[in-house]
Amino acid sequence: MYTSSMDSVKKARQRQALSQRNLAKLAGLSFRSIQLIESPSHDPRISSLQRLGNALGLPAGLIERRLAGLFSLSPDSVAIASERILTEGGDSWKTCLFDFVDAFRRAKDRALIEAPPAEETPPRAKALLASTTEALCSEEGLAVPSWCAAVESLSEPWFVSGVDNLKASALAESPAHFRKRGIFVLGNFLQRA
């Protein structure tokens, strides 16, 4: 779960040309703690991450604020759907996307769409989440959140079904919210049984 976060610690350390020993000294942690924190299977303490953040020049309190921000999000939000895609892998997008769609249609809660997807969300998933959010807003007569405008079109068309025989249908039926980002879905893509 923490692999990409721990890779980020290592990259931040390397960007500043610090050895693990130097970072340990700056952060007031043991050399072994730094080794463990940079390993993919370690579950670091928040206090250790705070010390690392301070040693790497992050503003005081940033880690706490980011964590508080995560805990303030609904587990059904588009932001958490993107985090789930990152954590569970690219093939999980269907489950994550439709869990979000179902939750939004049930609750009709604008809070579920306000926070954007995670920055590192793969382009396909981010474009799909933005297009889906726009489609749901259109259904409910809601203003589209501003983060959607920043999500770019894909560099190559994506036919979501992956079935060659359905490409012509997807070209003809794909709603504008999806088409404008190079995503081609069948007209009933967001309909649920």
81 and 154, same structural domain?
yes
Selection from 115, 186, 175 nearest residue 147 by Cα? 115
- CATH for 29: 1.10.260.40
107 and 78, same structural domain?
yes
User: 135-160: per-residue pLDDT in tens?
Assistant: 999 999 999 999 999 999 999 999 99
Sign of CA dihedral 70, 74, 79, 85: positive
Residues in a beta bridge with 184: 159
125 and 33, same structural domain?
no
Domain that holds residue 142: 73-184
Residue 15 lies in a domain: yes
User: 85-108: per-residue pLDDT in tens?
Assistant: 998 987 889 999 999 999 999 999
129 and 105, same structural domain?
yes
161 and 85, same structural domain?
yes
- pLDDT score, position 39: 86
Residue 157 lies in a domain: yes
Residue 130 lies in a domain: yes
Residue found under tokens 């964590």: 67
Residue 97 lies in a domain: yes
Residue 190 lies in a domain: no
Residue 189 lies in a domain: no
- pLDDT score, position 58: 85
Residue 156 lies in a domain: yes
Domain count, the chain: 2
145 and 82, same structural domain?
yes
The pTM score is 0.73
Residue found under tokens 């610090």: 18
**Which pLDDT band, with edges at 50, 70 and 90, does 1 fall under?**
very low
119 and 92, same structural domain?
yes
92 and 59, same structural domain?
no
C-beta of residue 112 within 8 angstroms of C-beta of residue 79? no
156 and 77, same structural domain?
yes
164 and 89, same structural domain?
yes
C-beta of residue 144 within 8 angstroms of C-beta of residue 134? yes
**Which pLDDT band, with edges at 50, 70 and 90, does 73 fall under?**
confident
**Which pLDDT band, with edges at 50, 70 and 90, does 171 fall under?**
very high
163 and 110, same structural domain?
yes
